[in-house]
């Protein structure tokens, strides 16, 4: 098992990508693992680019919040096109857990600007030596929250599971939103067992 | 006790532990969470406020410090430009109570504005500046900053960067200390607290330099800078603040790659100013090569060159001067690792990809939120210009800081400039003198108007400038994360605070031509614009409607917008004109995202077939 583990998360405002980082942070605190969670919202609002960097298991004070290019063990993306902004941060062999939702900018919607397709994105990741775990958003029940669904898939398909068990994360999710604990756990489990495309 | 906190929150808790009496400042990413978190707490004996601007905020804190209380002032780097006039005065006078000035820099520019290095202000004003790296260090150094300020009798800078101010992690904190409820009368001492006379001013200059020397000794005695000498004649690395972390990580990466790093000398500085002369000299004497790792400007590097020259040390430097590092952007461990590799004559670690993956990424321009009242203001403004026979590109319109500047983004593309807080009005005033063949218009948000817009308006009024000023009043300091300002509704002001009214202020100074409109009524905005442009002299339009996000939080409801798919002809005018993110294309026709739509109704005014309508 690695001593430390770095995660780079990308998406757009309104998807709840920061909540994934939040849950992992709380799980780390719960287990006494050193953690640094660095969200970058910039001027982001709903629909704007959002990223977060999580660094687990490092000695306090001996590192910085930013992950170097080529340094992440795990890339998480909830927006297909935005995935491309994370690729330069993945180590060769890094896991990429992607929920392929498309939040199309206006120019794309009007047919005035291009938007990458799934094969192009997967091609770029493989070019960087990454291992793809692509979740087709069409498989996700509409009422479910994409972020907890993605977190389930992260737990199933990445080495984050060497730090936290499925139960560790479920406990944090249940404590965080007590009133909707059951449905949130179901979403997490649906993501955990969701089919993934790897090539 | 251990607590999960952000860097800015750690700083706030450190100030509480130091017994801070007054905390003031102005919002600015990435500094805002210090005051935002303190305003949420019940703090008997401590006063916390968002001040009108950074200069005012600093003066409030400095006043409290003059009476012997501890005080903290917070801002982003741009704010320091605003408050510097008063800051330098207090730096020269000194102040008995611990006065700490927190500034957050933004290397890599995650939030807009000039990528300036606040350390330059510390050099310029001979003020010590502490630059913590880790979250725990932020808490600890905040407490030390108050102590240092009191020991030297002058203000101290505390500098964070986006990286650590916005990070979250667990921090060991202690109970807060309640400040005293009262203070004795401060001494009557014009020689210290005025600048009346050359003798007084030059004595203050002497005192200032002495305080910096005192702080150098304090830092030395408290062991804040860490020197670890390696092999004589080997490589030395100087790092400071946030780059201490990058450097540690870079050394770990080299060690993991099997490179022997035990010969390398390191000097980890907690501050650029005061320059750590003794330790820097020891390092330069010990090493034949020295790498200096500091983000943005090369202040320490230049000091090292000077010390090497003075002491005739034979050292080869690696830093910005020789092109190893850049003066631009945020650093990372890989960059520092490669800097060390260059200094050691080793091949660089190359992780570059054949082609940048981002080239395929869909461009994602920023724009107004669904329901933003500013959308209506700019739609109405353009319509009004058209009614006067102008295309929007024919008219010179200045923008200002905050959400209102999004009028420079598609589909509006209507603002020509963004300079600094409040500059839209005087900038337009200067253009109005020029004789360009176009009306001149300034646009400014409410908080920006209170911050530094009022003097510009007074100036334009006094000099009878023929221009239009549009104040977009959404009642909040919105872009920095929804802070209150003088115009925010009374409901959100603390018990004895008062809401001020921009309309009364503008009319009160004597503006004769003023229209107050609801920006959700784009036609009213257009009519006001048309009337204003046909009127000579200074005109003000106040476009007033609460920020949609804040209104939604207060459960404000507007009449439901209905969409009749059968009437939609797919002309996309609603998308092209409003740019509203709640309107999507669904096949040949549009669809409304009910999650985002707040029923502002602006789209109903542009739909040619009435497929979009306000109910009732």
Tell me whether residues B362 and A104 touch, CB distance under 8 A. yes
Model confidence pLDDT, tens digit, residues B145-168: 999 999 999 999 999 999 999 999
User: How distant is the Cα of B512 from the closest Cα of chain A, in angstroms?
Assistant: 37
The pair of structure tokens assigned to B217 is: 């000794």
SS3 B111: coil
Residues B214 and B67 grouped into a single domain:
yes
The answer to whether position A198 is within a domain reads no
State the pLDDT at residue A47.
78
Angle between helix axes B54-66 and B77-93 (nearest 10 degrees) is 30
The band of B352, judged by pLDDT with boundaries at 50, 70 and 90, is: confident
pLDDT single digits (tens) A50-82: 999 999 999 988 999 999 999 999 999 999 999
CATH number for position B319: 3.40.50.920
Report chain A residues whose CB lies below 8 A from the CB of B410. 106-107
Q: Which of A100-109, B179-188, B288-297, B439-448 has the lowest mean pLDDT?
A: A100-109
Reported as a single tens digit per residue, the pLDDT across B93-113 is 999 999 999 999 999 998 888
Chosen domain end from B221, B251, B270: B221
| Among chain A residues, CA nearest to B4 | A29
Helices (H), A32-163: 106-109, 118-127, 146-157
| DSSP assignments along B219-286, one per residue | HHHTT-SEEE--STTSEEEEEETHHHHHHHHHHHHHHHTT---TT-EEEEES-SSS--HHHHHHHHHH
Among B385, B408, B317, smallest CA distance to B528 is for B385
Tally of structural domains, chain B = 4
The structure tokens listed for B93 are 């006078």
How confident is the model over B548-599, as pLDDT tens digits?
Answer: 999 998 899 999 999 999 999 999 999 999 999 999 999 999 999 998 899 9
Distance from CA of A57 to the nearest CA of B (A): 12
CB contact (8 A) between residue B245 and residue A64: yes
Mutation pick from B165, B169, B479 vs chain A, by most beta carbons of A within 10 Å, is B169
**DSSP category for residue B177:** -
Interchain proximity A108–B358, CB inside 8 Å: no
The reply to whether residue B351 touches residue A70, judged by beta carbons under 8 angstroms, is yes
Rg from Cα positions in chain A: 16
B484 CA to chain A: closest CA distance, Å? Answer: 18
Q: Find, in chain A, the residue whose alpha carbon is nearest to that of B249.
A: A63
**In this structure, what DSSP letter does residue A2 have?**
-
The confidence score (pLDDT) of residue B495 equals 81
**Could you give the percent of chain B with pLDDT greater than 70?**
100
The residue of A10, A49, A68, A105 whose CB has the most chain B CBs within 10 angstroms, and thus the best one to mutate to test that interface, is A68
Residue-wise pLDDT for A151-178, tens only, equals 999 999 999 999 999 999 999 999 999 9
Q: Residue B495, class by beta-carbon neighbours within 10 Å (0-12 exposed, 13-18 middle, 19+ buried)?
A: exposed
Q: How far is the C-alpha of A113 from the C-alpha of A177, rounded, in Å?
A: 40
Chain A CB contacts of B252 under 8 Å are 62-63
For the cut 90, the answer to whether the pLDDT of residue B600 exceeds it is yes
Q: A116 to chain B: which residues are within 8 Å by CB?
A: 360-362
Find all residues with CB under 8 Å of B362, minimum gap 6, and list them: A81, A104, A105, A108, A113, A114, A115, A116
Asked if residue B360 belongs to a domain, the reply is no
In a domain, A124, yes or no: yes
Residue A43: its pLDDT value, please?
Answer: 60
- Assess whether pLDDT exceeds 60 at residue A1: no
Give the residue-averaged pLDDT of B605-610: 96
Mean pLDDT of A106-116: 91
Percent of chain B with pLDDT over 90: 96
Contacts of A146 (CB under 8 A, 6+ apart): A15, A16, A78, A99, A101, A137, A140
Residue B349 within a domain: no
Beta-carbon contacts of residue B228 (< 8 Å; ≥ 6 apart): B265, B266, B267
Average pLDDT score over residue span A5-13: 96
Same domain membership, residue B276 and residue B423: no
Q: How far away is chain A from the Cα of B511, in angstroms, using its nearest Cα?
A: 34
pLDDT, residue B366, reads 86
Min Cα distance B39 → chain A (Å) is 22
In sequence order, what are the residues at sequence separation of 6 or more whose Cβ sits closer than 8 angstroms to the Cβ of residue B561? B592, B597, B599, B601, B603, B604, B612, B613, B614, B615
Q: Which residues of B touch A88 (CB under 8 A)?
A: 351, 353, 356-358
Best A10, A63, A65 member to test B by mutation, with max B CBs in 10 Å, is: A65
- Selected residue of A39, A66, A102, A103 to mutate for chain B interface (largest B Cβ count, 10 A): A66
Query: Does B549 lie in the same domain as B478?
Result: yes
Taking CA atoms, A53 is separated from A93, B249, B451, in Å, by: 18, 16, 34
Give A61's contacts in chain B (Cβ within 8 Å): 133-134, 136-137, 245, 248
The answer to whether residue A172 sits within a structural domain is: yes
Q: Give the 3-state secondary structure of residue A110.
A: coil
Show residues of chain A in contact with B362, CB under 8 Å.
81, 104-105, 108, 113-116
Same domain, B532 and B597: no
pLDDT band at A14 (very low <50, low <70, confident <90, very high): confident
B497 and B387 together in one domain: yes
Residue A106 pLDDT exceeds 90: no
Q: Of B167, B200, B221, which marks where a domain is finished? A: B221
| Statement: residue A44 has pLDDT above 60 | no
Q: Domain check: are B528 and B491 in the same one?
A: yes
Amino acid A122: pLDDT: 97
Same domain, residue pair B187 and B107 = yes
Residue B359 maps to a domain? no
Q: Tell me how close the Cα of A75 comes to any Cα of chain B, in angstroms.
A: 14
Which residues from chain A sit within 8 angstroms of residue B249, using beta carbons? 62-64, 68
State mean pLDDT over A10-19: 93
Q: Is A123 on the interface with B (CB under 8 A)?
A: no
In a domain, B350, yes or no: no
> A17-21, A175-179, B351-355 — which is least confidently predicted?
B351-355
What is the least distance, in Å, from the CA of B542 to any CA of chain A? 25
Please give the pLDDT value at position B188. 96
Phi-psi region of A138 (alpha: psi -120 to 50; beta: other; left: phi over 0): alpha
Query: Residue B320 is part of which domain span?
Result: 226-343
**pLDDT at position A45, please?**
67
Among B221, B255, B285, give the residue marking a domain's end. B221
CB–CB of B166 and A39 under 8 A? yes
User: Please, which residues have CB within 8 angstroms of residue B577's CB and are 6 or more apart in sequence?
Assistant: B379, B411, B606
| pLDDT for the residue numbered A109 | 87
User: A109-113, A179-183, B532-536: which range is least confident on average?
Assistant: A109-113
Nearest CA in chain A to B351: A70
What tens digit of pLDDT does each residue of B295-346 get? Answer: 999 999 999 999 999 999 999 999 999 999 999 999 999 999 999 999 999 9
pLDDT at B615: 78
Q: B172 - beta bridge partners?
A: B2
With 80 as the cut, is the pLDDT of residue B349 above it?
A: yes
- What span, in angstroms and rounded, lies between the C-alpha atoms of B343 and B316? 9
Q: Is residue B427 exposed (0-12), middle (13-18) or buried (19+ Cβ within 10 Å)? A: buried
In a domain, residue B271? The reply is yes
- Asked whether residue A197 is assigned to any structural domain, the reply reads no
Note whether B65 and B37 are within 8 A (CB): no
How many angstroms separate the CA of residue B359 from the nearest CA in chain A? 8
For the domain that residue A169 is a member of, what is the CATH number? 3.40.920.10
Same domain membership, residue B492 and residue B582? no
Whether B333 sits inside 8 A of A71 (CB atoms) is yes
Report the pLDDT averaged over residues B180-202.
Answer: 95
Statement to judge: residues B237 and B198 lie in one domain:
no
- Examine residue A185 and state whether it is found in any structural domain, yes or no: yes
CA dihedral A99, A105, A107, A110 (to 10 degrees): 70
Q: Looking at chain A from residue 5 to 44, which residues have their Cβ under 8 Å from any Cβ of chain B?
A: 12, 25-26, 29, 34-40, 42-44
Is the Cβ pair B169, A36 closer than 8 Å? yes
Examine residue A17 and state whether it is found in any structural domain, yes or no: yes
Mean pLDDT of B364-389: 96
Identity of the residue in A46, A60, A113 whose CB atom sits nearest the CB atom of B362: A113
Q: How far apart are CA B427 and CA B124, in angstroms?
A: 28
Residues of A (127-156) whose Cβ lies below 8 Å from B: 127-128
Predicted pLDDT of residue B111: 83
Can you give the pLDDT at residue B616? Answer: 62
Query: Does any domain span residue A91?
Result: yes
Is the residue at A125 inside a domain?
Answer: yes
Asked if B63 and B169 sit in the same domain, the reply is: yes
- Here the CATH number for the domain that contains residue B17 is 3.40.50.970
- A contacts of B111 (beta carbons < 8 Å): 42-43
The reply to whether residue B334 touches residue A64, judged by beta carbons under 8 angstroms, is no
Q: Cβ of B137 and A61 within 8 Å?
A: yes
Does one domain contain both B466 and B405?
Answer: yes
Window A:89-118, CB contacts with B under 8 Å: 104-110, 113-116
A63 and B361 in contact by Cβ < 8 A? no
- Asked whether the beta carbons of residue B360 and residue A107 sit closer than 8 angstroms, the reply is no
The separation between CA B458 and the C-alpha centre of its own chain, rounded to angstroms, equals 26
Residue B595 has a pLDDT of 87
Domain span at residue A76 reads: 5-192
């Amino acid at each position: 098992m690695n001593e430390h583990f770095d995660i780079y998360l990308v998406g757009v405002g309104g998807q709840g990508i920061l909540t994934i980082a939040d849950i992992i942070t709380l799980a780390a605190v719960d287990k006494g693992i050193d953690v640094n969670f660095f969200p970058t919202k910039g001027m982001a609002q709903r629909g704007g680019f959002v990223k977060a960097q999580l660094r687990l298991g490092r000695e306090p004070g001996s590192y910085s919040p930013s992950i170097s290019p080529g340094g992440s063990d795990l890339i998480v993306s909830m927006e297909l096109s935005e995935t491309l902004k994370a690729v330069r941060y993945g180590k060769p062999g890094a896991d990429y857990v992607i929920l392929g939702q498309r939040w199309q900018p206006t120019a794309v919607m009007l047919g005035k600007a291009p938007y990458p397709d799934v094969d192009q994105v997967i091609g770029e990741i493989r070019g960087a030596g990454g291992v793809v775990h692509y979740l087709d958003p069409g498989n996700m029940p509409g009422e479910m929250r994409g972020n907890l669904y993605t977190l389930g898939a992260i737990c199933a398909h990445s080495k984050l599971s060497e730090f936290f068990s499925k139960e560790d994360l479920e406990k944090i999710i249940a404590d965080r939103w007590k009133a909707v604990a059951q449905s949130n756990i179901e979403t997490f489990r649906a993501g955990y067992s969701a089919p993934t495309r790897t090539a | 006790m251990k607590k999960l906190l952000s860097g800015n929150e750690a700083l706030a808790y450190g100030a509480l532990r130091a017994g801070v009496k007054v905390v003031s400042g102005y919002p600015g990413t990435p500094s805002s969470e210090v005051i935002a978190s303190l305003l949420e707490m019940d703090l008997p004996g401590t006063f916390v406020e968002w001040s009108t601007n950074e200069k005012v905020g600093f003066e409030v804190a400095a006043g409290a410090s003059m009476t012997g209380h501890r005080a903290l002032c917070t801002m982003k780097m741009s704010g320091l430009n605003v408050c510097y006039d008063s800051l330098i005065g207090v730096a020269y006078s000194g102040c008995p109570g611990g006065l700490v000035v927190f500034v957050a820099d933004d290397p890599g520019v995650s939030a807009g504005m000039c990528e300036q290095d606040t350390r330059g202000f510390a050099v310029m004003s001979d003020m010590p500046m502490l630059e913590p790296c880790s979250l725990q260090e932020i808490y600890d150094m905040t407490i030390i900053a108050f102590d240092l300020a009191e020991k030297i009798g002058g203000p101290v800078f505390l500098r964070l960067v986006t990286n650590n101010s916005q990070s979250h992690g667990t921090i060991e904190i202690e109970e807060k200390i309640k400040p005293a409820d009262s203070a004795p009368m401060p001494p009557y001492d014009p020689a210290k607290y005025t600048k009346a006379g050359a003798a007084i001013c030059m004595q203050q200059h002497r005192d200032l330099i002495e305080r910096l020397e005192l702080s150098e000794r304090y830092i030395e005695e408290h062991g804040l800078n860490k020197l670890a000498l390696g092999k004589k004649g080997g490589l030395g690395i100087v790092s400071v603040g946030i780059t201490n972390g990058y450097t540690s990580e870079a050394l770990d990466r080299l060690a993991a790659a099997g490179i022997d790093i035990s010969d390398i000398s390191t000097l980890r500085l907690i501050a650029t100013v005061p320059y750590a002369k003794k330790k820097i000299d020891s390092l330069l004497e010990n090493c034949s090569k020295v790498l200096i790792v500091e983000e943005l400007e090369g202040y320490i590097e230049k000091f090292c060159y000077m010390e090497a020259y003075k002491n005739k040390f034979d050292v080869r430097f690696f830093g910005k001067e020789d092109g190893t590092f850049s003066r631009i952007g945020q650093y990372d461990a890989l960059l520092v690792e490669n800097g060390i590799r260059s200094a050691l004559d080793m091949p660089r670690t190359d992780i570059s990809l054949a082609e940048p993956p981002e080239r395929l990424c869909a461009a994602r321009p920023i724009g107004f939120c669904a329901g933003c009242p500013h959308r209506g203001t700019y739609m109405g403004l353009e319509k009004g210009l058209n009614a006067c026979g102008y295309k929007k590109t024919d008219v010179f319109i200045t923008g200002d800081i905050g959400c209102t500047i999004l009028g420079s983004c598609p589909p509006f593309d209507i603002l020509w400039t963004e300079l600094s807080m409040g500059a839209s009005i005087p900038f337009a005033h200067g253009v109005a003198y020029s004789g360009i063949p176009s009306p001149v218009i300034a646009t400014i948000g409410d908080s920006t108007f209170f911050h530094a817009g009022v003097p510009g308006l007074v100036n334009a009024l006094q000099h009878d400038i023929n221009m239009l000023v549009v104040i977009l009043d959404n009642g909040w300091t919105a872009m920095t994360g929804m802070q209150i300002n003088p115009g925010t509704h009374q409901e959100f002001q603390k018990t004895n605070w008062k809401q001020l009214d921009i309309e009364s202020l503008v009319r009160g100074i004597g503006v004769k031509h003023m229209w107050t409109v609801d920006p959700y009524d784009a036609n009213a905005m257009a009519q006001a614009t048309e009337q204003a442009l046909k009127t000579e002299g200074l005109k003000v339009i106040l476009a007033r409607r609460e920020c949609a996000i804040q209104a939604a939080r207060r459960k404000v409801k507007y009449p439901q917008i209905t969409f009749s798919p059968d009437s939609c002809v797919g002309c996309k005018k609603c998308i092209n004109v409003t740019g509203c993110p709640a309107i999507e294309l669904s096949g040949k026709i549009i669809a409304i995202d009910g999650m985002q739509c707040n029923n502002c109704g602006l789209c109903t005014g542009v739909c040619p077939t009435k497929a979009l309508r306000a109910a009732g």
